[in-house]
Copies of this chain bind each other. A is one copy, B any other.
Amino acid sequence: MQVLRAMKSTSVSTEKDRAESLEGNQAGKREQTKLANRAAILEAGRQIFAELGYEGTTVRDIIRRTELASGTFYNYFKSKEEVFHALHDDGVARFKPLLRAARESAGQDFQAFMITAFEAYFNFLMNDQSVDREIAAMPEWTRVRFDTPESLALFDELKGDIIAFAAEFKLNHVDPELLTASCVGIAQEIGDRLLRGRIKDIDAAARFAAYFVLGGSQRVQSEMQV
């Protein structure tokens, strides 16, 4: 049985847009079911991953939560990994505009960019219904991390921004790759602690990270004393 009007309202946004864009036009029924099935699988996957963790879920678990037959799954995805990648990429796509907004609101102000960007990331982490959020928050010892092309594109975009600011501030001896990597590493580790509740204050964390990137622990010291 195919899934026609499945998709709960919680469905993944970018994917939903994809569906709706064809729905308005009188798309062929075939086209519609394909979109609906894909969306149903993704939504089921999002739920199951959140419940069972990445390792714990099976393709069968996902498909069982839809009205589709097991074989149909493989018309849309090769494996659970591909489902997760699609969900992950969707999250990245949702975050991208937030990063762009941070850059635009900051103008030439490197410090403002850093604070806004870290804030945007941490808020996104804590509030967006992304798979990564659910997964990372699980009390597991073994975790997964994903480097999709979409992730790498985001990294490159951030690197581009950082290169621009570095040029502005004559940081010509600072390797942009290393600098960007460090920012990402910091965001990851601090984000992880936020998700696990070991740290509560999102804004303080963002300021810490931003000052740290700009001037290291010394700068943090001078800025954080109220």
Residue interface mask A119-155, B partner, CB < 8 A = 1: 0000000000000000000000111111110000000
Task: Please classify the interface of chain A as helix (H, G, I), strand (E, B), loop, or mixed, using the class held by over half of its residues.
Answer: helix
A225 — which chain B residues lie within 8 A by C-beta?
A: 173
A184, CB-defined interface residue at 8 Å: yes
Residue interface mask A189-210, B partner, CB < 8 A = 1: 1101100001100000100110
Copy total for this chain: 2
A179 — which chain B residues lie within 8 A by C-beta?
A: 212, 217, 220
A67, CB-defined interface residue at 8 Å: no
Task: Please classify how large the interface on chain A is, using the bins under 10, 10 to 19, 20 to 34, 35 or more.
Answer: 35 or more
Residue positions of A touching B, CB distance < 8 A: 55, 81, 84-85, 141-148, 166, 170-175, 177-179, 181-182, 184-190, 192-193, 198-199, 205, 208-209, 211-221, 224-225
